[in-house]
Each structure stands twice: as structure tokens, then as C-alpha cells.
């Protein structure tokens, strides 16, 4: 759909865009828009159709008008919202507040970073004590978490099914988990290609991949209600350590990262704007970014153990309320592990951890 901004909001937004230092000339404008749309499948189409010539004022009007009318580029994400999330980080407090208000006022998306009292210093009783301090939320993490992410990524697999693409992850030496809506039957499991290492290396070059086949007669279980499937694979390459499924209750404002193959493309990780918005023993809703093709991806906690399996996104109703929000959602591992223990004990017995 399109987003129709009120005239005053349209003028204010174009003013913000035209005053960006990154909007001074055509080359910089193209870089700005390309940076905002990085990872969006329609990015090339949008850049090809956008007219970025002329004075900053005219070009800003064109950008805001075009993106407002372009429509969605992902699960309920308007093209304009992707752009606003990006430029919000480039502006001062007043402009950022205005952009956040647009997300409340129009059907756009959740803003990239909720306000978390970043104007309050922690652990300082006076300005004289302030040197290097934590501003708002403490975003400092031990560096070993990067190692955990890299190790976990080895077990994430690209799936090419008869019906499209998806993501899966290894939960034992020969068992892979994905969504039921990605692979729903033994026949689909046999017809799917499972590709390891479909990602870029440290030099930005594509890695050598290994594609294997399913062996569902040796192990297969699916649950449509919980939207997950477990499949046995054969002739597996070395992939490191299988992922650990964690039966822990997540809570609002916990962080969750997702390693995935968005759009069926190269492996990526989403670990910013990644707060849990709702969680119970059955599902977890979060603001972590995904795209079609990410279905079946592992949802990780801060220790890179799997707390949910991603399956959908969009304007979702929060359980227990009548309110809907733009979020992504996965099935909680609490429910998955309980189901496996009860209905697929042979698979449950072979899990890592």
C-alpha cells in the first residue's frame, strides 16, 4: 500500500532529508538511498526509477514522494519506513523524535531503536563525574559473543525446496530443523537441496558451498500447529557444532539475534533493533529483521543458543490483547522441546545439550 503523509509532515520530512550532509550532491544521494535499502530485494529497481538530480530541495521531495508511493518491500515494511529507520540514526534528537512520531502516526513499521532514556547518565551523580559512561541501555558485550555467532552460523543451512527457498539449522550431527510451511512432508524433504556455507568469507568473496540431500526415512517429524519440521540429512560436510535448543522463557526487552538466508540469498545475521516484544511458552515476538526466505531460521539469545524458530512476520496480534503490531514471530523452543519429548522421543534423545 502507499503512505499518504499530511502536508505538514511531508514538508517537515523533506526539509530533514534535504539538510542531510549526505544529500548534498547526486552521487552522495545515491549512496545514501543505497545504504538505506541495503538487503532490500527491490533496491536496484527503486534506485533505477528514482530521479535524484537537481537541487537538494527538489530531490528530497522526489525521494519522499517516491518511497511513500512504492509500497512494501518486506513483511509489512513500507519502503518509506526502511528509509526513515536509516536516516533517523543520522539526525539530531529533535529530528529523530519527529521521525519516531511518524511511525506512531502512519502505518509504517516499528522504528529502528525505541527511546530508552538515552539522555540519562548512569552511575554519575553530577556532570563533574561524567567522563566515559553508559548512556541509556548498556550495549557493551564481551567480544567472545562474536565468536559464538560465527560458530553458530556454521550450522545454519540454505534450503531450496520445490516451492521456494527457506532456512534451516542443524540440531544434531545429522538432523536439521526448519518450518513445517517450508517442508511439510517426506516427499518435499527428499526433493529439497540443503546447502552449507552459502555466505561470504572474510574477504567478501563467496565461500565454497556443499549441497546435500535429505534422508527422511532415517528421521522425519513435523508439527503443522507449531510450524516446525525435523529431517535427517545424508553425506554431511563438517559444519562445526550442532545448535543447542534452550527451553528458557524469554522476556520483554531481552535481545534475540537471527542468522538466516533472507530472500534466499547469502547468509546474514540480524542483531540490531532486536528486542523481544512479547513471549510466552508457545511463541516469541520480536523486532529483529527478517525477509521471506528467513523462515526456519534459528532465533538466538545472547549466548547463541536457540530459543525459538522464526516463522512469520507482519502486523501480528499480541496474545491476550486485541492490539496488533508490526513484529516478527517464532515458535518458542519451550513448546518445540515439549512436543519432541512427547511425540518424537527418538529425535529428542539425539539433541545437543
pLDDT digits (tens, 9 = 90+) for 237-261: 999 999 999 998 999 888 899 999 9
- Asked if the structure places residue 127 within a domain, the reply is no
- Asked if the structure places residue 327 within a domain, the reply is yes
- Asked if the structure places residue 119 within a domain, the reply is no
- Asked if the structure places residue 112 within a domain, the reply is no
Verdict on whether the full-model pTM lies above 0.75? no
CB contact at 8 A, 323 and 315: no
* Domain hosting residue 95, numbered range: 7-105
Domain count, the chain: 2
Do 163 and 95 fall within a single domain?
Answer: no
Three-state secondary structure call for residue 185: coil
Do 327 and 275 fall within a single domain?
Answer: yes
pLDDT at 324: 83
Residue 125 has pLDDT above 80, yes or no: no
Look at residues 105, 128, 155 and tell me which one is the last residue of a structural domain.
105
Do 78 and 167 fall within a single domain?
Answer: no
- Asked if the structure places residue 135 within a domain, the reply is no
Question: What sign for the dihedral angle of Cα 325, 303, 339, 153?
Answer: positive
Do 67 and 151 fall within a single domain?
Answer: no
**How much is the average pLDDT of 104-112?**
68
Residue 223 has pLDDT above 80, yes or no: yes
Do 186 and 55 fall within a single domain?
Answer: no
- Asked if the structure places residue 211 within a domain, the reply is yes
Do 271 and 158 fall within a single domain?
Answer: yes
More confident residue, 40 or 102: 102
The pairing of strands 276-279 and 283-286 is: antiparallel
Do 184 and 279 fall within a single domain?
Answer: yes
Do 163 and 55 fall within a single domain?
Answer: no
- Asked if the structure places residue 157 within a domain, the reply is yes
Look at residues 105, 129, 164 and tell me which one is the last residue of a structural domain.
105
pLDDT at 74: 64
pLDDT at 76: 59
- Helix and strand numbers (H, E) in the chain are 10, 16
pLDDT at 113: 38
Do 74 and 172 fall within a single domain?
Answer: no
pLDDT digits (tens, 9 = 90+) for 140-185: 777 888 999 999 999 999 999 998 899 999 999 999 999 999 999 9
Query: Which residues in 59-98 are b (16+ Cβ under 10 Å) and which e?
Result: bbbbbbebbbebebbbbbbbbbbbbbbbbbebbeeebbeb
Do 100 and 182 fall within a single domain?
Answer: no
Do 183 and 315 fall within a single domain?
Answer: yes
Do 249 and 339 fall within a single domain?
Answer: yes
- Asked if the structure places residue 282 within a domain, the reply is yes
CATH of the domain at 173: 2.40.10.120
Amino acid at each position: 500500500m502507499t503512505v499518504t503523509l499530511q502536508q505538514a509532515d511531508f514538508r517537515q520530512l523533506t526539509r530533514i532529508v534535504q539538510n542531510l550532509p549526505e544529500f548534498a550532491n547526486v552521487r552522495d544521494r545515491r549512496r545514501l538511498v543505497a545504504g538505506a535499502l541495503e538487503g532490500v530485494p527491490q533496491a536496484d529497481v527503486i534506485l533505477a526509477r528514482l530521479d535524484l538530480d537537481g537541487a537538494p530541495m527538489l530531490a528530497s521531495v522526489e525521494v519522499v514522494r517516491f518511497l511513500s508511493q512504492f509500497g512494501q518491500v518486506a513483511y509489512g515494511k513500507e519502503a518509506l519506513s526502511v528509509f526513515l529507520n536509516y536516516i533517523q540514526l543520522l539526525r539530531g534528537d529533535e529530528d529523530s523524535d519527529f521521525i519516531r512520531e511518524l511511525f506512531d502516526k502512519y502505518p509504517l513499521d516499528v522504528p529502528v531503536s525505541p527511546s530508552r532514556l538515552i539522555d540519562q547518565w548512569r552511575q554519575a551523580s553530577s556532570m563533574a563525574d561524567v567522563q566515559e559512561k553508559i548512556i541509556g541501555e548498556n550495549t557493551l558485550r564481551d567480544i567472545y559473543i562474536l565468536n559464538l555467532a560465527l560458530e553458530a552460523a556454521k550450522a545454519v543451512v540454505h534450503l531450496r525446496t520445490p516451492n521456494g527457498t527457506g532456512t534451516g539449522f542443524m540440531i544434531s550431527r545429522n538432523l536439521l530443523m526448519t518450518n513445517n510451511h517450508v517442508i511439510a512432508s517426506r516427499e518435499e524433504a527428499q526433493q529439497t537441496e540443503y546447502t552449507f556455507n552459502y555466505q561470504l568469507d572474510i574477504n567478501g568473496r563467496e565461500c565454497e558451498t556443499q549441497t546435500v540431500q535429505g534422508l527422511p526415512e532415517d528421521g522425519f517429524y513435523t508439527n503443522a500447529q507449531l510450524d516446525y519440521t525435523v529431517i535427517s540429512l545424508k553425506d554431511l560436510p563438517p559444519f562445526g557444532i550442532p545448535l543447542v535448543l534452550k527451553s528458557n522463557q524469554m522476556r520483554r526487552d531481552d535481545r534475540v539475534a537471527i542468522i538466516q538466508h533472507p530472500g534466499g540469498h547469502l547468509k546474514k545475521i540480524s542483531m540490531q533493533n532486536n528486542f523481544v516484544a512479547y513471549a510466552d511458552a508457545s511463541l516469541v515476538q520480536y523486532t529483529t529483521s527478517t525477509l521471506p526466505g528467513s523462515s526456519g531460521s534459528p532465533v538466538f539469545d545472547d549466548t547463541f543458543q536457540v530459543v525459538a524458530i522464526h516463522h512469520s512476520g507482519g502486523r501480528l496480534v499480541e496474545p491476550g490483547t486485541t492490539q496488533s503490531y508490526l513484529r516478527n514471530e517464532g515458535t518458542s523452543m519451550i513448546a518445540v522441546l515439549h512436543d519432541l519429548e512427547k511425540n518424537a522421543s527418538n529425535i529428542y534423545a539425539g539433541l545437543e545439550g
